[in-house]
Structure 1
Amino acid sequence: MFLYIAFGNTILNEYGGALPEIGMAFIGLKTLLFGLLLFLPKYRNTIRFWLFSFVIFLFVTLILQNAISEFFFWNEFGVKYNFIAVNYLVYTNEVIGNIMESYPVIPLFTVLFISSGIITYFIVKYSKTYIEAIPTFSEKLKISGLYFVMLGLSLATIPYLATKENSQNIFANELQSNGIYKFYLAFLNSELDYFKFYKTIPSNEAYAILKNQINGIKNESTTRKIIGKGQEIHKNVVLITIESFSADFMKAYGNENNITPFLDKLALESLQFTNLYAVGNRTVRGLEAVTLCFPPTAGESVVKRKDNKNKFSTGNIFKQKGYNVKYLYGGDAFFDNMEDFFTGNGYDIVDNKTLSLHEITFSNVWGVCDEDMANKAIQIMNTESESGKPFFNHWMTVSNHRPFTYPNNKIDIPGDAKSRDGGVKYTDYALKQFFTLAKKQSWFKNTVFVIVADHCASSAGKTELPLEKYRIPALIYSPGFIAPQKYIQLMSQIDVMPTLMGLLNFNYQSKFYGQDVLQSDYKPRALIATYQDLGLIKDDVLTIISPKQKVKQFQLSLKHDQKMAPEFQLYYDQEVLNKERTDLVRETISYYQTASDLLKKKKYEK
């Protein structure tokens, strides 16, 4: 078996990563231990005792560790294990580093190991007869039979109990669910075939409905000609996506803690999109939205898929217009497959690997602090401005992410307090430093700045898609070019970049689902989703389509006594709709079915 795993093409090799090495280590260890028992008969009882004790200790530790992990995962995300947990297992360096920096690991594990040791002691004390007097073959068969009966019973019972998680309150369902089983389901559903799991309509009908929402498309595609209102304006463009930046962090949306003083001021000098929703609850979904301007399809983000290259993207449009195109990220762009995605779509990468030691003043497990990346961004833009070509730079921030550590003595919240408010306020401070430097550069007056969150700080709520957990701020800032104003109509994260291109009067052939919301033919709507629940907000109704051809609809009504201006109010009551709005169900299906179809048939290429 050892040689087979070492040199054969086993299922472990198919999964890749370190699994073949783990398999070889496990079988090698089993072989070694069997050899010790075989060749050292005088020490068999001692070896067997300590092996038995270690295995019991290991199982007890894993069971208790899982309980602790579920608690902290709930504390972070408000749910039991889900798709995020599956994703995080792939990036062990960042995740383990995040845990080490975010939580009191040494005290936790000290208590864990002491507790496991005590429990193991009592288990071994009362069950060591099984190793002192080894069961006969018939007794082993009975014990094994009992084990398999109990295993089969658990495998049948847990899925059955999962069907009873049918409360209208998602928190209640999550609390009663089995974390390991939820992890298993999330692992299986990392890639979902829309046409297998979701409600569908005939393809020609789906595209016909989509045509009524996106003006100018023909046949079974989203291809259309975009004509600017005047001469093209080739200003530099800086797109800043802010990590985990909920709308309710800002003063306009009701926050009274003054944690975004710079952005609050900048918003008043910008074109603000006050009623905008993120497409998902992961960074890769936000990156997908502003790069591909594409709906969040079922399963994994396009960023993480194998077929993620040569897509029709914002970077592709800017390259057509003669721009230098770069993606800037303070961490290692290998994380979340960002490097593969952006390089595969024509972006040059600037990440923490490109920074020299003297350029780094502070870093944590996620990368260099936002100030360091702001300084690097200024350096990159100065170099690009000398080339004579316009530039499009997309900068993804990192500091507003657990463990929320950043340099001390920058804001009034200590950098080692590990406070979310501190993380938000430090990112706001870093952006202020960036703009202070940018205003001193020759290229500033010829640059448009787009600032938008990648997703909200958390995603859990009482319903599958709680609206306040998807509402994000967004603004376009370019003094002397774009007048300060508020756009209050409902819109999606996928509309931000097409709207910018409209302001620049770009002429191009588009495949984007995102639209220029400033055009008269735009019909307000927003697309929001998890990895399996796909939603459409329109006409004060939230329509959700889910696996097993499920459909839910909720009537949305603003909650009273919200202490903010009407255009910034973000809290809604979501009541189950008594009578189905079939037109909205079909429109929801048309968005997600056609998007899945275009990806499947490779029709969303550049």
Structure 2
Amino acid sequence: MHFYKKLSPFYNLALLYFIVSFILRIVLLFHPITQSSFTFTESLKIFSFGLLSDFFVFTIASVFLWLYLIFISNSKYNAPYGYIILASFVALLIYTASGKSIFDEYGGALPKIVLIFVSLKTLLFSFFLFLPKHRNKIRFWLFAFVIFLYVLLILQNAISEFFFWNEFGVKYNFIAVNYLIYTNEVIGNIMQSYPVVPIFSALFLITGAITYFIIKKSRNYIDEIPSFNEKLKISALYAVLSITSLLAIPGLAKTQNSKNIFVNELQSNGIYKFYLAFQNNKLDYFKFYKTIPNEKAFAILKHELPSISGKNTIREIKEDSIEQHKNVVLITIESLSADFMKMYGNKQNITPFLDSLAQKSLLFTNVYAAGNRTVRGLEAVTLCLPPTAGESVVKREDNKNKFSTGSVFLKKGYNVKFMYGGDAFFDNMQDFYSGNGYQIIDKSNFSENEVTFSNVWGVCDEDMYNKAIKVMNSEAKENRPFFNHIMTVSNHRPFTYPNNKIDIPGNIKSRDGGVKYTDYALKQFFKQAEKQSWFKNTVFVIVADHCASSAGKTELPLDKYRIPALIYTPDRKPEKYTKLMSQIDIMPTLFGLLNFDYESKFFGQDVFKTDYQPRAFIATYQDLGLIKDNVLTILSPKQQIKQFKLKLNNTIGISPEFQIHYDEIPLKAENNDLVNQTISYYQSASYVLKEKEYQFKDLADRNKKLYANVRN
């Protein structure tokens, strides 16, 4: 038999992987979210470099297949070797089951996983040793199972990549890594969003059929087990290809340098992208990004925040008027892109209440979200600092006792609460907010009769608002003002909500329906609030946490970060603020409107102050952007810097202050002042977090007083 036939399990599975990846790229290329056209050269690059990436990634991923196949033999069951090996397996099994193995020192699920694996290996080896007549049959079905598993993983990965693209417009990234942590919500979301049973039924049938044909073409490996010399050749070949792959994969990743982000994403291999995201979930700014001396960074920052001194952002905020200790309700709305609203050009009439409320409010027309995830939005309105590299502060271990929106209200004697219709454990919200002086109201605080509808993310927005009204009515009797931060959930896939509320049924799972129901629920909240004694003494702040999608042709597409924001105060005249501003400026601006005197550490500013210089921060977990003077500056890992001139792509019929589309044109010559300002913001924010300069020192004592008041 020719030697190449001994490689049949490898090349048959590889061929399947290449075909599936090729088809997936075509599907994603023509997906509606892929808002781009491609030149012939770009298409050639996508498929040729993509195939190379797939080849090298498959080589590395087939290491388990190589390990399994290389140890298939009959000689190891001959006496006395078979009994010695079995005795070794039994000893290892006793060791792992003892509860005192090295694996137990690591804790978690690892000891159980190792115990199950060793148990199966011991059991299977016993079958092969003591049932020689059935050895070939057992080996065949074990071989079939391994091939089936590889086929299933290849197809399952393609389906997962498709649905991830469908949601985010990119291959696997940081979000996919996070999804591994919150399996209950994520699996529940998938179950409620997609026809899972039909999909997986079809998946298993197709997997079975493909496995049948691959086994038919590859079973010669187990029918005529390779000799020792042949296995050495296979191992040598695999070793060479593996080493080559380990060197080639990062090199190919560097060729993903197109100005069109869709080209880079389609060219990339999803599995390797997942690996990179897993590796980069923690990014030390000072290790990966362009830096300047800290003294210089804070000196530049002083031009933006004139009253700071030294390497911190501490400054005194003084107002000329008497403080107004009004109640404050902050509502961060899930995934509310600016272009869902009529004023930004939407013609579907899916936010009629917000559209009308905006005409009665202080409306900020030119606001950009700090990031593309809920935790970034929560971080922006709570900590009011630029989004630093890696994971949001909300999800970091060192996330407590920070200077925050809540700490300012606490110092003014407010009751401070965070309200969420789901489980606050998700995205570490419980740990973050409770660790920063907030009392938590989440799904666990709802009685059965308070829940009329829920999905995997939690109770519907109406139920959350009804609960909020009850809580605020109770707070109003305590003779002290309240600050309540409400996070909505209904405008999120699977987009299910109570039927017969709006003209889009809740069971059709439509994005427009999710937005319109969110708007409807907000209207019902205001209807109830208007009837309460505390209403006229309350300020309502409404802002999106992030946009519905972050996919675009560039690293940071501006229209995917533009969000609506408004402050509604009963009996206050409506007003528009049209200058550029950041999500982190919303709460400092509110404090200015309330005439609060306080010591601030915020990077966010009161945009009505004369020294405010319009700018906005937008970021992913690794690309950190500053919009200023009609230029977008982006800092990326490996000390990379990009700058783009922003050219308005005018939409006919939309007022100038509501235009959101810009072409990002690479600057031919670097603007050093803006580069240094961008570095200054992000480096100083990273510094104060790292050096614990962003702490609220007496929060622990205030927490005790707060909870004592709550109990009383």
TM-score normalised to structure 1 length: 0.97
| Worse-matched range after superposition: 468-477 or 118-127 | 118-127
Tell whether 2:355 aligns with 1:275.
Answer: no
Q: Give the letter aligned to residue 421 of structure 1.
A: D
Q: Quick one: structure 1 residues 152 and 41, their matched pair in 2 at CA, closer, same or farther if it must change by over 3 Å?
A: same
Residues of 2 paired with 1:314 and 1:211: CA distance? 22
Q: Quick one: structure 1 residues 39 and 194, their matched pair in 2 at CA, closer, same or farther if it must change by over 3 Å?
A: same
Q: CA deviation at 1:20?
A: 4.1
Tell whether 2:506 aligns with 1:506.
Answer: no
Q: Give the letter aligned to residue 497 of structure 1.
A: M
Residues of 2 paired with 1:239 and 1:5: CA distance? 53
| Worse-matched range after superposition: 103-112 or 52-61 | 103-112
Choose which of 155, 158, 163 in structure 2 pairs with 1:67.
158
Tell whether 2:299 aligns with 1:208.
Answer: yes
Identity %: 71
Residues of 1 paired with 2:370 and 2:621: CA distance? 11
Partner of 1:92: 183
Tell whether 2:523 aligns with 1:432.
Answer: yes
Partner of 2:219: 128
Choose which of 581, 584, 609 in structure 2 pairs with 1:494.
584
Residues of 2 paired with 1:174 and 1:155: CA distance? 20
**Residues 384-463 of structure 1 correspond to what in structure 2 (within 5 A)?**
384-463=475-554
Choose which of 605, 625, 631 in structure 2 pairs with 1:515.
605
Partner of 2:9: none
**Residues 466-481 of structure 1 correspond to what in structure 2 (within 5 A)?**
466-480=557-571
Residues of 2 paired with 1:6 and 1:345: CA distance? 42
Tell whether 2:284 aligns with 1:198.
Answer: no
Residues of 2 paired with 1:5 and 1:285: CA distance? 43
Partner of 2:684: 594
Tell whether 2:604 aligns with 1:604.
Answer: no
Residues of 2 paired with 1:321 and 1:27: CA distance? 60
Residues of 1 paired with 2:285 and 2:451: CA distance? 44
**Residues 182-193 of structure 1 correspond to what in structure 2 (within 5 A)?**
182-193=273-284
Whether the 8 Å contact between 1:6 and 1:20 is mirrored in structure 2 is: no
Q: Give the letter aligned to residue 662 of structure 2.
A: Y
Tell whether 2:250 aligns with 1:159.
Answer: yes
Q: Give the letter aligned to residue 305 of structure 2.
A: I
Choose which of 352, 360, 373 in structure 1 pairs with 2:464.
373
Partner of 2:239: 148
Q: CA deviation at 1:105?
A: 1.4
Partner of 1:542: 632
Q: Quick one: structure 1 residues 11 and 460, their matched pair in 2 at CA, closer, same or farther if it must change by over 3 Å?
A: farther
Q: CA deviation at 1:27?
A: 3.1
Q: Quick one: structure 1 residues 5 and 455, their matched pair in 2 at CA, closer, same or farther if it must change by over 3 Å?
A: farther
Choose which of 573, 576, 582 in structure 2 pairs with 1:483.
573
Q: Quick one: structure 1 residues 184 and 341, their matched pair in 2 at CA, closer, same or farther if it must change by over 3 Å?
A: same
Whether the 8 Å contact between 2:364 and 2:564 is mirrored in structure 1 is: yes
Residue deviations 1:373-402, cap 9 Å, x none?
111111111111111111111000000000
| Worse-matched range after superposition: 134-143 or 447-456 | 134-143
Tell whether 2:436 aligns with 1:345.
Answer: yes
Choose which of 361, 380, 403 in structure 1 pairs with 2:452.
361
Residue aligned with 1:264, SS:
helix
Q: Give 1 or 2: higher helix fraction.
A: 2
Residue aligned with 2:162, SS:
helix
Q: CA deviation at 1:36?
A: 2.6
Q: Give the letter aligned to residue 495 of structure 1.
A: D
Q: Give the letter aligned to residue 170 of structure 2.
A: V
Residues of 2 paired with 1:278 and 1:11: CA distance? 44
Q: CA deviation at 1:9?
A: 8.0
Residues of 2 paired with 1:376 and 1:445: CA distance? 20
Q: Quick one: structure 1 residues 246 and 56, their matched pair in 2 at CA, closer, same or farther if it must change by over 3 Å?
A: same
Residues of 2 paired with 1:365 and 1:148: CA distance? 46
Residue aligned with 1:416, SS:
helix
Residues of 1 paired with 2:636 and 2:103: CA distance? 31
Q: Quick one: structure 1 residues 590 and 405, their matched pair in 2 at CA, closer, same or farther if it must change by over 3 Å?
A: same
**Residues 253-292 of structure 1 correspond to what in structure 2 (within 5 A)?**
253-292=344-383
> Which has more radius of gyration?
2
Tell whether 2:658 aligns with 1:568.
Answer: yes
Residues of 2 paired with 1:424 and 1:58: CA distance? 40
Whether the 8 Å contact between 2:406 and 2:437 is mirrored in structure 1 is: yes
Residues of 1 paired with 2:98 and 2:406: CA distance? 43
Residue deviations 1:414-455, cap 9 Å, x none?
101110000000000000111111111111111110000000
Residue deviations 1:298-319, cap 9 Å, x none?
0000001000011111111111
Q: Quick one: structure 1 residues 97 and 500, their matched pair in 2 at CA, closer, same or farther if it must change by over 3 Å?
A: same
Residues of 2 paired with 1:194 and 1:12: CA distance? 35
Whether the 8 Å contact between 2:651 and 2:659 is mirrored in structure 1 is: no
Partner of 2:77: none
**Residues 40-59 of structure 1 correspond to what in structure 2 (within 5 A)?**
40-59=131-150
Q: Quick one: structure 1 residues 492 and 12, their matched pair in 2 at CA, closer, same or farther if it must change by over 3 Å?
A: farther
Q: CA deviation at 1:50?
A: 1.1
Residue deviations 1:144-173, cap 9 Å, x none?
333333333332332222111111101111
Q: Give the letter aligned to residue 175 of structure 2.
A: I
Q: Quick one: structure 1 residues 140 and 587, their matched pair in 2 at CA, closer, same or farther if it must change by over 3 Å?
A: same
Q: Give the letter aligned to residue 536 of structure 1.
A: L
Q: Quick one: structure 1 residues 562 and 11, their matched pair in 2 at CA, closer, same or farther if it must change by over 3 Å?
A: farther
Whether the 8 Å contact between 1:5 and 1:23 is mirrored in structure 2 is: no
Tell whether 2:616 aligns with 1:526.
Answer: yes
Whether the 8 Å contact between 1:253 and 1:564 is mirrored in structure 2 is: yes
Whether the 8 Å contact between 1:450 and 1:477 is mirrored in structure 2 is: yes
Residues of 1 paired with 2:121 and 2:496: CA distance? 43
Partner of 2:425: 334
Question: Which consecutive residues of structure 2, in runs of 5 or more, have no partner in the other structure?
Answer: 1-91, 697-712
Choose which of 668, 672, 691 in structure 2 pairs with 1:582.
672
Q: Quick one: structure 1 residues 292 and 579, their matched pair in 2 at CA, closer, same or farther if it must change by over 3 Å?
A: same
Q: Quick one: structure 1 residues 583 and 331, their matched pair in 2 at CA, closer, same or farther if it must change by over 3 Å?
A: same
Q: Give the letter aligned to residue 83 of structure 1.
A: F
Whether the 8 Å contact between 1:6 and 1:24 is mirrored in structure 2 is: no
Whether the 8 Å contact between 1:318 and 1:325 is mirrored in structure 2 is: yes
Residue aligned with 1:333, SS:
coil
Whether the 8 Å contact between 2:103 and 2:110 is mirrored in structure 1 is: no
Q: CA deviation at 1:118?
A: 1.1
Residue aligned with 1:473, SS:
strand
Q: Quick one: structure 1 residues 13 and 274, their matched pair in 2 at CA, closer, same or farther if it must change by over 3 Å?
A: farther
Residue deviations 1:105-158, cap 9 Å, x none?
122212211111111111212222322333333333222333333333332332
Residues of 2 paired with 1:347 and 1:177: CA distance? 42
Q: Quick one: structure 1 residues 561 and 342, their matched pair in 2 at CA, closer, same or farther if it must change by over 3 Å?
A: closer
Q: Give the letter aligned to residue 115 of structure 1.
A: I
| Worse-matched range after superposition: 445-454 or 227-236 | 227-236
**Residues 229-240 of structure 1 correspond to what in structure 2 (within 5 A)?**
229-240=320-331
Residues of 2 paired with 1:6 and 1:82: CA distance? 39
Whether the 8 Å contact between 2:96 and 2:114 is mirrored in structure 1 is: no
| Worse-matched range after superposition: 278-287 or 3-12 | 3-12
Residues of 1 paired with 2:652 and 2:110: CA distance? 52
Q: Give the letter aligned to residue 638 of structure 2.
A: K
Aligned length: 604
Q: Quick one: structure 1 residues 431 and 9, their matched pair in 2 at CA, closer, same or farther if it must change by over 3 Å?
A: farther
